[in-house]
Structure 1
């Protein structure tokens, strides 16, 4: 019997959509690649973040705010269903600034963004100087100018989130196929046929959540394949006593005690390597933020690739050439996971993706290119 949905891509985006659809009673199969594939879901910092999301596209900011508001219930539901602790915490977050010029630019950006639509007037944030930030970031270094604080932000363990989504989907009957990359997709009168090294799969409808794999797979379905890799590098310290410090894009302490240090954007193609120069820069900045980390040992580092669209905002689109085919692409899969599992899954299930989220179509890039 064919599936109701075939989802190509078993990262956080694909699995959140699979969970949402299976929870609505749909038959779902997920075709995933090998463990050695480019996986943003396993290389990110685990932030559930609102600050700054959506500059230039306020609707994205609205989705980020909404998803952060429903994340506590989403996390509680996944844990109740699977017994897996997502290590989710929402005590607020801080985006750090190192000088007055950076601080002024960030505040101007936030003032413009959060005044752009009535829905964003609900976003709470304020700029705090270093002395005021000490309440939220004990031991903050004197070379930090300050930062924007918001109560909407939080963080989780992204690997635990992904594991919980796998377990929840399995409990709902999702047919998860690892090491089964899609090699060819054909639209038929009855739906879609996907050929893989492990066999052929059929479904009435198809969702691409393939990350960077969408570059090859999406255009043949009349969908946007305009994504590119942007590398981030991350340092991890040894486990240290909990410092009560709020997370930031630059550094956060995990539930196990280690600090994740990152926040770099590198245009290096598909290279997931690490470089001594960047590792040195990250370590130097971490010590500027928290001088006590100068004594901490580093235990590992990694590089991972973000899935970035031309304007940095998500793509949610339905194919007009091949009705029943959809494309989901974003670099904010952790923050938006709660939204993907609920409202987005509902819109896809009801075939209302274009009606509800048409402004996120990849067709906007063609307009920009010809405008």
Structure 2
């Protein structure tokens, strides 16, 4: 399918989980939407992630990110059921609870502070000692010295690849024009409006455009601003790729139900006996390669934490590039000085989890409605 002479209401640039979700939500309300990506659909950081969904409470949260997370956390079960009914694709969403451990003094202090914030924001959390961990979670190594532990009953998980497939199919069924491997080569302006997006295959003339290209959003925004001669007129968004390496293990069966988290690392059990282990946090530019050291370290971490995984097979390792803003708060809003261009990127490690809420508030903003979450903290030109 060619974009030649296409005039959608909205153009979404980037078909990861955020872009797919925005297109899905806009189409829900009857808008004509085109979704493009220079690569195959949903194959970057969204596909590579673990699908962890930590709990949040939108009604009691005082932190802007937690308000957004709370909205998303409430939407995820509804979206998952809706997508399954519409497409027949099960994204394997389930509320499993989540175990958090700390064996290092610094991580223990961080976990205790996190528990305090959870309690202040109305999220159910149970603090545990080492004995309680051994009794309730016998699969966890019993002779570890645990300095702090917590159980979050509201934590959920989803399996990324089927979720992305369901979103893509849901978009198509709702009439979204989905154009993979469609690279942008230029932009045309009429005053402060982006009039035309030029691709290798033709031109698109949308009413409004949203850049949601993950780690590549910075590159696209820079190209747009430079070509439109907006240089110096606005503070540019700052988004950098942060590499995360992961490992997939295969046990004979699923013998534990809930994710186990320690610091930035985690183990996520799947229904079919696979266990996803992640993740590194590396500044490696746009290099998505894996390193033997990191893969070995993650596999050893999993087998040390859960001894039964010593018998599991190492299936493979891979890496994704998380889009991180400088302050680790996503950009969700309109590009200043441009009347019809928006940005939804920089979600760092929370892109999947925040995608339903990002889609809802972005669709409201782009449609001229008042977003149900205050987007001032997420504005593009914040200091």
Structure 2-normalised TM-score?
0.86
Could you tell which deviates more after superposition, 20-29 or 136-145?
136-145
Q: Quote how far apart the aligned CAs of 1:345 are.
A: 1.9
Mapped to 1, the partners of 2:253 and 2:101 lie a distance apart of 22
Superposition pairs for residues 1-371 of structure 1, below 5 Å? 2-35=7-40, 39-50=44-55, 58-112=63-117, 115=120, 120=121, 122-134=122-134, 137-142=137-142, 143=144, 145=146, 146-188=148-190, 191-219=194-222, 220-221=224-225, 224-249=236-261, 250-329=266-345, 330-331=347-348, 332-350=350-368, 352=370, 356-364=374-382, 367=383
Q: Quote how far apart the aligned CAs of 1:59 are.
A: 0.7
**Contact 1:233–1:279 (8 Å) recurs in 2:** yes
SS of 1:7 mapped into structure 2: strand
SS of 1:271 mapped into structure 2: coil
- Which residue of 1 is the match for residue 3 of structure 2? none
Q: 1:258 to 1:136 in 2, by over 3 A?
A: farther
**Contact 2:49–2:160 (8 Å) recurs in 1:** yes
**Contact 1:99–1:144 (8 Å) recurs in 2:** no
Unpaired runs of 5+ residues, structure 1, are 52-56
- Tell me which stretches of 4 or more aligned residues in structure 1 moved more than 6 Å: none
Query: How far does the alpha carbon of each residue in 1:92-143 deviate from its partner, in whole angstroms, 9 at most, with x for none?
Result: 112321234422332124425753xxxx2x2122322233234653310132
Q: Quote how far apart the aligned CAs of 1:35 are.
A: 3.5
Mapped to 2, the partners of 1:351 and 1:186 lie a distance apart of 27
**Contact 2:333–2:362 (8 Å) recurs in 1:** no
**Contact 1:223–1:318 (8 Å) recurs in 2:** no
Query: Once superposed, what is the RMSD of the aligned Cα atoms?
Result: 2.5
Structure 1-normalised TM-score?
0.89
Mapped to 2, the partners of 1:89 and 1:36 lie a distance apart of 24
Could you tell which deviates more after superposition, 105-114 or 178-187?
105-114
**Contact 2:67–2:373 (8 Å) recurs in 1:** no
Q: 1:361 to 1:304 in 2, by over 3 A?
A: same
Q: Quote how far apart the aligned CAs of 1:34 are.
A: 1.8
**Contact 1:31–1:176 (8 Å) recurs in 2:** yes
